[in-house]
Structure 1
Amino acid sequence: MKLIVPIEFYRQGGVERVICGTIERLIELEEVEEIILVLPKKEIPYFQEKLPKSPKIKYESFTLPSKSLQSRILSLINKFSSLSGNFKAEKFTKFLKRLRRKYQSEFSIKYLANHYQATHCLYFLINLLNPPNLNIHLAMVSHDLFWRFAPLSYPESYVRKYDLNLLEWLKKVDIVFAVSQKTRQDIISIFPEFSDKITTIPNSGFPTKSNASREIFSLGENSSESNEELPIFYLPSSFGIYKDHLSLLKAGIKLAEKKLKFKIVLIGKETDNLIAGKITLSQQKNTQEYIDYLHQCQEISQNNQNIMQEYFEGLGYCSDEDVEKWYRNSSCVVFPSKYEGFGLALSEAVVRGIPAIVSDLEVFREQVDIYKCSDLVDFFPMGDVDALANCMEKFILNPRKRLSAEEIDTRFSHWTWRETAKEYVRLLGEL
């Protein structure tokens, strides 16, 4: 199998770890002869640093030989675009730019697929991208349908744009890999005619080689980095409306007012500003629900700065190494999300042997079923601050110990990134 993997854009964090974790294990499989990783040129050094050195991985960019017919077509589009700019034909100029991006991507992928004689093409991210017209098997990964199912009101035009784009992909791909059964059912609820194309391959929570974190398994429950006296609750997630950091702030304040001893550590974009009471958010900034949520976050943080400074630590965006360091330091992972397509932090906590407190979402129940770890996870009703505070207080007063390295290996090694990669290869091979 020769697999071409175009990454036209990506998000640092969970999706990036999914990409790296899967590719790291794909190159270990005998069935995989080559992976052609196609990236924006400026991103190639970053992924070369992140991924293991392997002759199986070929790094390419979205460029074409200068004298090729496709390159000449793109040059012609560029000339028309320049001319339209001179005549201030704004709409036509935008159309030509979109056309160029579309064909730049498609021509490059077609050229590379032919050059390497690729057998399959796999997209890890497809939102608002154009599906390529290829004469090889095409597959996609679906992480979520946030525009439809997240508790945030998107404009009808926005929802329709994403729906139509997903429909275009569903028509062209041979198979869809949904990261959870919930995501699969969400797609089917909108486009039931494609149910036979959609299968579920859950992510793994195990560390990837790229974040150099296998050492966590030698730390286990007796890690010198963990603080037995001060329980540390950890939320590794960028700030966003449906991540519901607000409920965690409110729960933490309730516990602080009881004079309990604990620390809450937040990692992810904007979490530093959240604790400082200076948060901004780009999503739906003109909607009332955005305004209300933002106001509540700012008000609760600004009015409780003494508690914020004593009990909370907002670290903002951090490196993978720092994310792992705080997994090692933490006593319990708290994940109060109101919506997730998968919710990687729960699986990441479980396979590190860390207890977790999470909102009662279907995707979290799925992960508990995968790893058979109900003894490690407490659920609370989504958005219920009192219930969340009660779970956290219970943990503070009677903390659970982390699992040992031996327990982790015995209980959870049945679903690692290797098993995920094997499923991708098996299903692609059956096409």
Structure 2
Amino acid sequence: MKIGIDARLWSETGVGRYIRALVYHLGQIDDTHEYVLFLKNKDFNEVEMPNKRWTRQEADVSWHSLEEQLRMPGVYKQSGADLIHIPYFSVPVLMPTPFVVTIHDLTISHFATGKATTHPKLMYALKRLAYRFALWKAVRSAKRVITVSESTKKELVSEYRLSPGKVAVTYEAGDFEKGTQAAAINTPAKYILYVGNAHPHKNLDQLLNAFSLLRRKNSEIKLVLVGPDDYFYQQLKNLPENKCEGVEFIHNVNRDELYTWYRKALCLVFPSLSEGFGIPGLEAMSQDVPVVCSNISVFHEIYGEAAVYFDQNDAQNIAETILGLIADEKKRKDLRIKSLKKAAEYSWKKMAQETLEVYENCYRV
């Protein structure tokens, strides 16, 4: 079987991390099938093929675009692949080739707010309708749907009336990519860490409210926000100065720098209103760093007793929970032990093995 993997998001965080791990481990475990990677120009000559059964094909097409809808079906067909894996919900409506799709979360369904866009409200509303249709068409037309947690599977089955047997759960992981090492960077002496984007569902406004309360009791602690230097982070930076006192914005870090930010943190804070999985929490746990996070179902599923939970809608509770953990050395020590064990339960290699099983089951049907 020849399998095509849409890797146009190769260099991105989040989905890009998933794609890179999938490709690396498939290259290690599968000595039977052929693969073709669809790559954008900027990555085409940079991505090393795992072995001689892997090839690359240029697909310099932006995601979420009309061009994607018009051109990508032809690109997929030209590859001669028997099965295409699209690791994101943005699937062309007219797919000529059998495919599987990975749905990482249903944020776009749950957060119908113009805050989550740089476009005028009418344009945002129209694009959101288009996204929802594309998502509906993708999950209904796919041979199989892959998702990354039981929580998201339940949402998919409920919202899109899918058969539970059509949806496979392949957990992600938090281990760092091969070759990652500590970087020489300057960090505050004591800091709380957040890693991720600043989209509205990440709830960073509430985190900043909580941090303002926390600083009244312990002004030595800093809050470090690591993420892309984009419109959403600029919105945070434009907040009144007193709301950002003690906050450091760190952008465009490489993997060695990110690894180092984790290792030196007092804890990772993860205040999201909704997530599909929660890679940063496992990354922190793998580096012996305690996790303080929202009281949402997916975090309980993934982190279990290895995290401390707060009410994500209550700034006072967020502040008190973080301060309580920092002040309780015994609790921190117990949490570190649980965290390392929890992080070890997840493996990118296992994710790739389970994804390969999905491919093979699709081909046999």
Measured against the shorter chain, the TM-score band is 0.7 to 0.9
CA distance in structure 1 between the aligned counterparts of 2:95 and 2:232, rounded to whole angstroms: 40
The residue that corresponds to 2:88 in the other structure is 125
Report whether the alignment pairs 1:107 with 2:42: no
> What is the TM-score with the length of structure 1 in the denominator?
0.71
Given the superposition, is the C-alpha separation of residues 233 and 270 from structure 1 closer, same or farther in structure 2, using an over 3 Å criterion?
A: same
CA distance in structure 2 between the aligned counterparts of 1:236 and 1:195, rounded to whole angstroms: 32
CA distance in structure 2 between the aligned counterparts of 1:142 and 1:315, rounded to whole angstroms: 28
CA distance in structure 2 between the aligned counterparts of 1:197 and 1:188, rounded to whole angstroms: 9
CA distance in structure 2 between the aligned counterparts of 1:201 and 1:352, rounded to whole angstroms: 23
Cα distance per residue 1:354-377 (max 9 Å; x no partner): 1100011111111124xxxx1x31
Instruction: Give matches, 1:272-291, under 5 Å.
Output: 279-280=234-235
Instruction: State the shift of 1:273 in Å.
Output: 8.8
Cα distance per residue 1:256-302 (max 9 Å; x no partner): 2224432211111248995xxxx33xxxxxxxxxxxxx7xx744x42
SS of equivalent residue, structure 2 residue 252: coil
Q: Give unpaired runs (5+ residues) of structure 1.
A: 64-96, 281-293
Single out whichever of 316-325 and 199-208 deviates more from structure 2: 316-325
CA distance in structure 2 between the aligned counterparts of 1:417 and 1:25, rounded to whole angstroms: 7
The residue that corresponds to 2:59 in the other structure is 62
Instruction: State the shift of 1:192 in Å.
Output: 0.9
The residue that corresponds to 2:120 in the other structure is none
Assess if the C-alpha contact under 8 Å between 1:7 and 1:125 holds in 2: no
Report whether the alignment pairs 1:365 with 2:300: yes
Given the superposition, is the C-alpha separation of residues 59 and 365 from structure 1 closer, same or farther in structure 2, using an over 3 Å criterion?
A: same
SS of equivalent residue, structure 1 residue 315: strand
SS of equivalent residue, structure 2 residue 146: strand
Assess if the C-alpha contact under 8 Å between 1:151 and 1:242 holds in 2: no
Q: Percent of counterpart pairs with the same letter?
A: 19
Assess if the C-alpha contact under 8 Å between 1:33 and 1:56 holds in 2: yes
Report whether the alignment pairs 1:16 with 2:13: no
Given the superposition, is the C-alpha separation of residues 147 and 304 from structure 1 closer, same or farther in structure 2, using an over 3 Å criterion?
A: closer
The residue that corresponds to 2:41 in the other structure is 41
Instruction: State the shift of 1:338 in Å.
Output: 1.1
The residue that corresponds to 1:339 in the other structure is 274
Instruction: Give matches, 1:14-413, under 5 Å.
Output: 14-46=14-46, 48=47, 54-62=51-59, 98=66, 101-113=68-80, 118-127=81-90, 129-130=92-93, 132-134=95-97, 137-150=98-111, 152=113, 157-209=126-178, 212-213=179-180, 215=181, 230-270=189-229, 279-280=234-235, 298-299=238-239, 301-304=240-243, 308=245, 311-369=246-304, 374=305, 376-399=306-329, 400-401=332-333, 403=336, 408=340, 412-413=343-344
CA distance in structure 2 between the aligned counterparts of 1:148 and 1:411, rounded to whole angstroms: 30
SS of equivalent residue, structure 2 residue 251: coil
The residue that corresponds to 1:429 in the other structure is 360
Instruction: State the shift of 1:17 in Å.
Output: 0.7
Instruction: State the shift of 1:166 in Å.
Output: 1.9
Assess if the C-alpha contact under 8 Å between 2:281 and 2:291 holds in 1: yes
CA distance in structure 1 between the aligned counterparts of 2:138 and 2:354, rounded to whole angstroms: 21
Instruction: State the shift of 1:52 in Å.
Output: 6.7
SS of equivalent residue, structure 1 residue 28: helix
Assess if the C-alpha contact under 8 Å between 2:73 and 2:96 holds in 1: yes
Instruction: State the shift of 1:189 in Å.
Output: 2.0
Q: Give unpaired runs (5+ residues) of structure 2.
A: 117-123
Assess if the C-alpha contact under 8 Å between 1:151 and 1:339 holds in 2: no
Tell me how large the CA RMSD over aligned residues is.
Answer: 3.2
Assess if the C-alpha contact under 8 Å between 2:10 and 2:19 holds in 1: no
CA distance in structure 1 between the aligned counterparts of 2:10 and 2:105, rounded to whole angstroms: 14
